[in-house]
Amino acid sequence: MRIADGARSDVGRGRPENEDSFLVDPEHHLYAVADGMGGHRAGEVASATAIETLMAAYLGGQRVDEAVEAANAAVFAKAAENAAMRGMGTTLTAIAVQDGKAVVGHVGDSRAYLMRDGTVTQVTDDHSLVEQLVREGRLSPEEAQNHPQRAIITRALGIDADVDVDTFRVDLRPGDRLLICSDGLTNMLSDDTIAQTLRRHADPQQAADTLVDMANQAGGDDNITVILLDALSDGGERAAMTAAEPEAEPSLENSGAAPLDEDTEARPGGRGFRSLVLWGLPILAVVGIAIGAVGWYARRTYYVGLSGDRVTLFKGVPGGLLGWEPTVDHETDLTAADLTEAARADLESGHRFASRSDANDFLERLQEAHEALGGSTTTTTTAVPGEPPPLGETPASTEPTR
């Protein structure tokens, strides 16, 4: 069996820069999409760092889930060493193909789909607020498609030192097609439209180009990245595509994809790169700042933290900076008891913003998400995206919109 691929990444029509990164490595059969988050927090740096580290770790002999964990550590370290990048993060969905099997490692809301015999199935589960509400029966899939908080994710790389990685295995058959994409595609096109396009275009590059063009025509609100992988027989023959609608509703159970037991996940074989460093030491940088620049920065920086047990907006830098001490701008009605354990940890160190407006927008999103979940709390310890999550009856903390 061999793999034919097609890929395209586009800035879209609603963003000034492309914060998506992707990997197509036919030699080692490794493919991935990373959707960076943070804007001024350098989401493009987060996604690029994740892709580079994923490749080095996998070629160094790590399993896919271990390589994704290494990518998380690298993004987390880079954010810690540079205050301007603090809070950046990225999704990451990776597929390694070996011995007729596709192993999927997944964190965030970039997706992997499998098309088999004309039926298209979503392999991964979105780590997002609205998808969690759908799984709980509190939102319908139709409501989720246009929900104002659909971009809030509950798990991402780079936000905490550790991250839970979902893994799946697909036993490939000739004619199977795999799709990896960022949410710039799935927020613009319905699953039915994506499925019809995958069935209509036999060439993977043509299918990838068409999907990106259609997402732009639908609005192109976000960056759009698409990778298509076709499993071909050893003779190279491609299974015929069909435009007919599937007769049965796709399901993970009958698609050939299944959650992967950690003990059975394949490692890369015959790579010869065992000596590669997995994530290395953080690169140290020393920045000299004049006293006047320090004062300017301290007077114009805001952060959200805790004053006693109250969620509070401060003006200044957490802990002060060369004599410039932070002052209280205002306290909110949220208390530490309302927060998840991970969110409390994030606010205890202070979450910085470049302007008061950005900080207030964050507080409004936090309150809205809290109200959307009924105002209840948990004390989970799952990874926290860059801006503290909405609070509620969720098994994971949540990430603000990208």
| Higher-scoring residue by pLDDT: 224, 364 | 224
How far, in Å, CA of 152 to CA of 138, rounded? Answer: 16
| Higher-scoring residue by pLDDT: 222, 132 | 222
pLDDT at 142 (0 to 100)? 72
pLDDT at 62 (0 to 100)? 97
12 has pLDDT over 90: yes
| Higher-scoring residue by pLDDT: 273, 116 | 116
252: left (phi > 0), else alpha (psi -120 to 50), else beta? alpha
How far, in Å, CA of 139 to CA of 155, rounded? Answer: 20
Given pLDDT bands bounded at 50, 70 and 90, which one contains residue 185? very high
Mean pLDDT, rounded, for 104-131? 95
What confidence tens digit (pLDDT) does each residue in 383-393 have?
334 444 443 33
Q: Please provide the DSSP assignment of 100-145 as one string.
A: TEEEEEEESS-EEEEEETTEEEE-S---BHHHHHHHTTSS-HHHHH
pLDDT at 402 (0 to 100)? 57
382 has pLDDT over 60: no
How far, in Å, CA of 275 to CA of 97, rounded? Answer: 22
246 has pLDDT over 60: no
Percent with pLDDT over 70 in the chain = 69
pLDDT at 290 (0 to 100)? 41
Given pLDDT bands bounded at 50, 70 and 90, which one contains residue 369? low
Phi, psi of 347 (to 5 degrees): -75, -25
| Higher-scoring residue by pLDDT: 277, 15 | 15
Least confident of 157-166, 168-177, 277-286: 277-286
Mean pLDDT, rounded, for 96-121? 97
273 has pLDDT over 50: no
- Reference 12, options 155, 251, 231, 220; nearest CA is 220
Rounded to a whole number of angstroms, the distance between the first and last alpha carbons of the chain is 38
Residue 130 and residue 147 in contact, taking contact as beta carbons nearer than 8 Å: yes
Q: pTM, whole model, 2 decimals?
A: 0.63
Which residue reads 């990106």 in tokens?
212
What confidence tens digit (pLDDT) does each residue in 53-100 have?
999 999 999 999 999 999 999 999 999 998 888 889 999 999 999 999
DSSP code, position 362: H
Mean pLDDT of the chain: 78
What confidence tens digit (pLDDT) does each residue in 20-39 have?
999 999 999 999 999 998 76
Mean pLDDT, rounded, for 174-194? 96
pLDDT at 256 (0 to 100)? 59
Task: Please list the residues that pair with 106 across neighbouring strands.
Answer: 93, 166
Q: Which amino acid, residue 395?
A: P
Given pLDDT bands bounded at 50, 70 and 90, which one contains residue 186? very high
How far, in Å, CA of 355 to CA of 297, rounded? Answer: 11
Neighbours of 125 (CB within 10 A): 16
| Higher-scoring residue by pLDDT: 381, 331 | 331
318 has pLDDT over 70: yes
- Reference 125, options 252, 303, 292; nearest CA is 252
